[in-house]
C-alpha cells in the first residue's frame, strides 16, 4: 500500500513537472480528416471552433478524405510521411487501421476526459470502444426513408423492414447500398431467420445463397447507391419510393429541406464513427492532438454536436444533455437513432464477422449483382 502511494505521488509530481514542458512543445497546427458536409460542420461548430478560441495561436485544417482514409493512410505510411493528425473513420475502418498498425493504440482512461460524475472514459463509452485504437464520437444508423406521397392509397405507410421486400403492397423502386453489409442481414431477417442467428446462417454457403435469393425478389426494382447523399436525392426526385441511408441524411432532408419523406426505424443498423490517431506521429504533433482530443470528446462537447446533426453522442453521460437543434429549435432527442422509441428493434452489426468475411462475400455479392 505504501509503495502504491509513493508511486502515485511520484507520478503526480512527474505529471505536474512535465505538463508545462509538454505544452510548450505542442505543434500549432492540426490536420483533421472528416467526411465533409453537414457532419464535418457539426464537428467544426461543436468543438473545433471553441477549441481554436481557447487556443488562438493554433490553426486547424480539414481534409475531407474519410471515405478513403484507410487507403490514403496506408499510402502515406509507405511513403513515410503521414500528414494527418486526427482521422474520423467508421468503426470497421478503425479496426482495419489498428490491424494494419496504421493507427495508434489508445489508453482511453488516460487520454480522454472522465464524465462529470467521475465515471472513467472507458466506462462512459462502454462497449462502443470496439478497437484499442478507436475513440467513438457518435452512434449513427443506416435505416430506411420513404416518400409519404407515394404510399399506395388505402395502405398503411411502411413501418417494418420487411415492407422493403414486399413489392405487392408497396410497389416502386428501392435504393440500397451497393455492398453486402446490412442488405444481407435484412434479407435473411425478412426470410424468417431470427435476429440472433443471422451471422450463423450467413456463415454457411446456403445462408449466403438464401440471402441473395431473397434480394433477388426485389433486384429488378433496386437502384444501388455508393454515396450516402444519393438516397435523399433519389427520394427528393421521386426516383425511388424507399431507400436506405444514414439517418442524419434523412433527418436533414425531412427537417431542413421539408421533403415529403417519412422515417422507418425498424431494424436500423447501428454503426459507430469516431477518431483514430495515426501511428508514429512526431511528439509535438501528438501532444497537440491529444490535447484537442481530450477536449473534443468530453461529455459536453459530444452533446453539443448533437445540436447540429441527428447522431447520438457516444458517451452515456452526454445523452441527458442533448437539447434542441441549433437553428431549427426542434427537440433533437426523438430524432436520435438511440432514442428508445426508435431503437425498439435494431440490427447490431458484427464487426468481427464482417472483418473476416467481407472479401469473400463481396466477391459473391458483386458477382450476383452483375448476373
Partner 1 sequence: MSDTTETGPVLAADGTPLKRSLRRALRAQKLRALALIAPLLIFVMVAFIAPIADMLFRSAENQIVGNTIPMTVEELRDWDGEELPDEQVYRALFFDAFFAAEAKEHTRLGSRLNYEESGMSSLFRKSGRSVDDFGEVFQDALEDLNPAFGEAQVWYDMMSGEPAAEGATRLMSNQIARLEQLASESYTGDPDFMPGAAIAEMLPNTAREYAAFAAFTYFEDEDVVAEEEPWEAVYAGLALDLESVDTRRAIAEYDGPGADLLRQAAEAELPPVDMKSAFIEDNEDWARVNYWEVIKMYSPSYTTGYFLNAVDMEKTTEGIALRDEDERIYGLLFKRTMFMSLVITFSCIALGYPIAWLLSNLPARKANLLMILVLLPFWTSLLVRTSAWKVMLQQQGVINDTLVWLGIVADEGRLVMINNQFGTIVAMTHILLPFMILPMYSVMQTIPPSYLRAAKSLGATPFTAFWRVYFPQSVPGIGAGSILVFILSIGYYITPEIVGGTTGTFISNRIAYHISTSLNWGLAAALGSILLAVVLILYWAYDKMVGIDNVKLGG
Residues that bind partner 1 (CB under 8 A): 67-68, 70-71, 74, 96, 98-101, 173, 178, 209, 223-224, 226, 237-239, 352, 355-360, 362-364, 366-370
Q: List CB contacts of 159: < 8 A, sequence separation 6 or more.
A: 264, 266
The 3-state DSSP class for residue 271 equals strand
Q: Indicate the residue among 256 and 360 with the shorter CB distance to partner 1.
A: 360
Fill in the DSSP letter of residue 278. B
Tell me how far, at minimum, the Cβ of 70 lies from partner 1, in Å: 6
In the complex with partner 1, the residue whose CB is nearer, 117 or 359, is: 359
The residues, any chain, with a CB within 8 Å of residue 145's CB and separated by 6 or more, are 231, 232, 235, 242, 243, 245, 250, 253, 254, 261, 262, 263, 264
- Nearest to partner 1 of 95, 332 (CB atom): 95
Minimum separation from the CB atom of position 253 to partner 1 (A): 16
Q: Check if the beta carbon of residue 97 is closer than 8 Å to that of residue 89.
A: yes
Shortest spacing between CB 248 and partner 1, in angstroms: 22
Distance of closest approach, residue 36 Cβ to partner 1, in angstroms: 15
Query: What DSSP character marks residue 274?
Result: E
Quote the least distance from Cβ 79 to partner 1, whole Å: 10
Least distance between partner 1 and beta carbon 234 (Å):
9
313's grid cell: 453522442
Nearer to partner 1, 294 or 358 (CB): 358
Angle between helices 205-216 and 183-190 (to 10 degrees): 80
- Tell me phi and psi for residue 195, to 5 degrees: -55, -40
Q: For residues 234 and 306, which CB has a smaller minimum distance to partner 1 in the complex?
A: 234
The continuous run of DSSP H or E covering 268 comes out as strand 261-276
Question: Minimal CA–CA distance to 93: which of 128, 127, 132, 134?
Answer: 134
Q: Of 99 and 327, which CB lies nearer to partner 1 in the complex structure? A: 99
CB of 238 to partner 1, least distance (A): 5
Q: Which residues pair with 16 in a beta bridge?
A: none
Amino acid at each position: 500500500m505504501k509503495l502504491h502511494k509513493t508511486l502515485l505521488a511520484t507520478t503526480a509530481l512527474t505529471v505536474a513537472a512535465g505538463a508545462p514542458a509538454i505544452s510548450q512543445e505542442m505543434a500549432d497546427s492540426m490536420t483533421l480528416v472528416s467526411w465533409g458536409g453537414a457532419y464535418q460542420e457539426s464537428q467544426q461548430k461543436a468543438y473545433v471552433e471553441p477549441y481554436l478560441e481557447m487556443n488562438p495561436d493554433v490553426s486547424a485544417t480539414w481534409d475531407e478524405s474519410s471515405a478513403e482514409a484507410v487507403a490514403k493512410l496506408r499510402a502515406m505510411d509507405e511513403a513515410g510521411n503521414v500528414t494527418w493528425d486526427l482521422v474520423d473513420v467508421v468503426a470497421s475502418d478503425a479496426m482495419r487501421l489498428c490491424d494494419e498498425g496504421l493507427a495508434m493504440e489508445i489508453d482511453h482512461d488516460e487520454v480522454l476526459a472522465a464524465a462529470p460524475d467521475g465515471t472513467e472514459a472507458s466506462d462512459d463509452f462502454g462497449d462502443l470502444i470496439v478497437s484499442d485504437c478507436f475513440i467513438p464520437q457518435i452512434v449513427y444508423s443506416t435505416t430506411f426513408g420513404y416518400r409519404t406521397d407515394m404510399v399506395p392509397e388505402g395502405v398503411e405507410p411502411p413501418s417494418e423492414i420487411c415492407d422493403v421486400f414486399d413489392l405487392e403492397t408497396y410497389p416502386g423502386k428501392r435504393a440500397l447500398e451497393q455492398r453486402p453489409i446490412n442488405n444481407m442481414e435484412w434479407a435473411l431477417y425478412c426470410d424468417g431467420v431470427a435476429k440472433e442467428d443471422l451471422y450463423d446462417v450467413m456463415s454457411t454457403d446456403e445462408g449466403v445463397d438464401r440471402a441473395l435469393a431473397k434480394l433477388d425478389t426485389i433486384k429488378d426494382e433496386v437502384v444501388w447507391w455508393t454515396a450516402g447523399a444519393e438516397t435523399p436525392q433519389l427520394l427528393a426526385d421521386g426516383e425511388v419510393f424507399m431507400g436506405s441511408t444514414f439517418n442524419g441524411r434523412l433527418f436533414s432532408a425531412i427537417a431542413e429541406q421539408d421533403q415529403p419523406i417519412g422515417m422507418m426505424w425498424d431494424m436500423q443498423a447501428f454503426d459507430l464513427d469516431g477518431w483514430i490517431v495515426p501511428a508514429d506521429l512526431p511528439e509535438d504533433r501528438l501532444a497537440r492532438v491529444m490535447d484537442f482530443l481530450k477536449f473534443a470528446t468530453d461529455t459536453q462537447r459530444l452533446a453539443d454536436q448533437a445540436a447540429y446533426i441527428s447522431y447520438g453522442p457516444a458517451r452515456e453521460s452526454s445523452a441527458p444533455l442533448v437539447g434542441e437543434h441549433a437553428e431549427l429549435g426542434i427537440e433533437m432527442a426523438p430524432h436520435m437513432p438511440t432514442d428508445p422509441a426508435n431503437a425498439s428493434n435494431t440490427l447490431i452489426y458484427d464487426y468481427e464477422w464482417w472483418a473476416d468475411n467481407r472479401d469473400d462475400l463481396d466477391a459473391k455479392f458483386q458477382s450476383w449483382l452483375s448476373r
